[in-house]
Amino acid sequence: MHPQPVNALTTAENQHVSLDAVRTMVSACIQCGTCTASCPNALEMDLTPRKMWRLVILGRLAEVMASRTFILCSDCYTCTLRCPRGLPLTTAMEALKGIAFARREARHRSSRLFYETFMQTVRRYGRIRELAFMTRYFTAMKNPMAPLRFAPLGMKLMGKGKVEMGSGKSGETPLHALFDRVAALDRTSLETAAREGHR
Ligand code: SF4
Ligand code: SF4
């Protein structure tokens, strides 16, 4: 059993997580709006990426955490490729997810549990196993209505043979060592970025 956090998204140990590291990543933003114009998910976001970076630079943690913008980022890297300042915007979006999850923000609870249980399943089996993943997720949600919401989609996927039943054909290849190594590397890089932000 490995009940500890599964990746850098949840490695912070308390709720006093600051925006320092992310602010360092986007501090050279010139507010040109290219990231917003390039983002395929911007129309669904409550704050555009450009506004999000402005709030980060201003250190407005509560407003940033209240947004679903970083949750809706699908890591497509388009903004990162197109930003004229060459800023690591996708990494910054992921770092915001990490802060929200580490702070146990109530608004992002279901997203956090989804990420955590997904990654716990990959860590345990070396791949995703749909039934094991959904069982973990529904248990973590502690909401008896949650399975009902997913039932139509689940039935559809099962009908198309997209859900592997039972333990599946492939063996288990646990990835505990790999996950631990990545978490350590991410922790180091966030600490370095935060230190540089204080210089
Ligand atoms: S594309 Fe880069 S410089 Fe332009 S608003 Fe977005 S983060 Fe700032
Ligand atoms: S990486 Fe995220 S924020 Fe950037 S364009 Fe893609 S979905 Fe939008």
Residue carrying the six token digits 């407005």? 60
Q: What percent of the chain lies above the pLDDT cut of 90?
A: 60
Whole-prediction pTM: 0.78
Average pLDDT value for residue range 72-101? 96
In a domain, 114, yes or no: no
CB-based contact 30:84 (threshold 8 Å): yes
- 21 close to 108: Cβ distance less than 8 angstroms: no
Give the total number of structural domains in the chain: 1
Nearest ligand to the C-alpha of residue 93?
2
Q: Confirm or reject: Cβ of 83 under 6 Å from ligand 1.
A: yes
Q: Which pLDDT belongs to residue 128?
A: 86
Residue 54 lies in a domain: yes
Instruction: Name which of 4-13, 48-57, 159-168 the model is least confident about.
Output: 4-13
The residue nearest atom 2 of ligand 1, judged by CA position, is 83
pLDDT band at 150 (very low <50, low <70, confident <90, very high): confident
Q: What percent of the chain has pLDDT over 70?
A: 85
In a domain, 127, yes or no: no
**Domain span including residue 20:** 8-103+185-197
Reported as a single tens digit per residue, the pLDDT across 18-72 is 899 999 999 999 999 999 999 999 999 999 999 999 999 999 999 999 999 999 9
Residue 162 falls within a domain, yes or no? Answer: no
Residue 12 has pLDDT above 60, yes or no: no
* Within-domain flag for 62: yes
Question: Does any domain span residue 65?
Answer: yes
pLDDT digits (tens, 9 = 90+) for 165-188: 766 666 678 899 999 998 899 788
Owner of token pair 């999850």: 101
In a domain, 40, yes or no: yes
pLDDT value of position 173: 85
Task: Answer whether 193's CB lies under 8 Å from 25's CB.
Answer: yes
Q: What is the mean pLDDT of residues 185-194?
A: 76
d(CA 5, CA 8): 8
Pocket of ligand 2 (CB under 6 A): 38-41, 49, 73-79, 89-90, 93
CATH number at residue 34: 1.10.1060
Calculate the alpha carbon distances from 143 to 37, 114, 139, 140, 149 in Å. 38, 13, 8, 8, 11
Ligand 2: distance of its center to the CA of 73 in Å?
Answer: 5
The residue-averaged pLDDT of 102-123 equals: 93
76 part of a folded domain: yes
